[in-house]
Structure 1
Amino acid sequence: MIYNMNVEVMKILRSITDLKLCATDYPDDWSQFPAAIYRTAHAPVQVDAYQVERQTQWTVTVELYTDSGSLTTITEKLRLAFGEIGFFGNTTQSNTADLRRAVCTFSATVDNDLKRVYHK
């Protein structure tokens, strides 16, 4: 069975008390800032003879938004939190309209049997 990284991502986001909104969908009403909108993607790395996925490559993308101030503190907290579980990544500044935006991308390979994380 594939380890569900979505649960881990939400735990990390909720641990960052600066964030007022953590969600997988863009809000209808952009009134809670700073906000984090995330998505995950995964692909098999190792599949055994019984077609059981033993290792999975995960990519987590977190878009941070604020209507004022800097997102640097939050991006550093994210980088540290994902680093603690073995994920590494990068941050891109990508402001849009009247909002400040940072896009953080993290990735690693998860061993679904041993619950270990590997980074290439």
Structure 2
Amino acid sequence: MERLIALHSRLQLTITIVIVVGVLWALVVAWRNRGGMQPLSGILQLLIIAQAVIGVPLLWQADLAQMALHLIYGVVAVGLIPATAIALRERPARIVGLSYAGILLMLLIVVARLYETGG
């Protein structure tokens, strides 16, 4: 179980770094008015799903009342990237870049709160 806890916390750090890189890339996409966010958002989504899968066995050792906010933030993190991809289909690159920059900044706040709620 200690290995799962260590992997869970390391993945959270990796996700944080990928989000920061994603914000910077989204701003480049918006500035250049070309490019896309699909590869980076796909990688980020896989990392978030892996984080959730690793976190499920850890829930059995935690107080669920204390972890409720952590779970809510986790659900938001898992759903935010696909929802953004669906909402921004076939939009101009500048709008996609600026929208992803905003969404990823919100996700960065969610991940920062996950650090505080026990992640």
TM-score by length of 1: 0.31
Higher relative contact order (CA 8 A, sep 6+): 2
- Relative to its length, the structure with more helix (as a share) is 2
TM-score by length of 2: 0.31
- Relative to its length, the structure with more strand (as a share) is 1
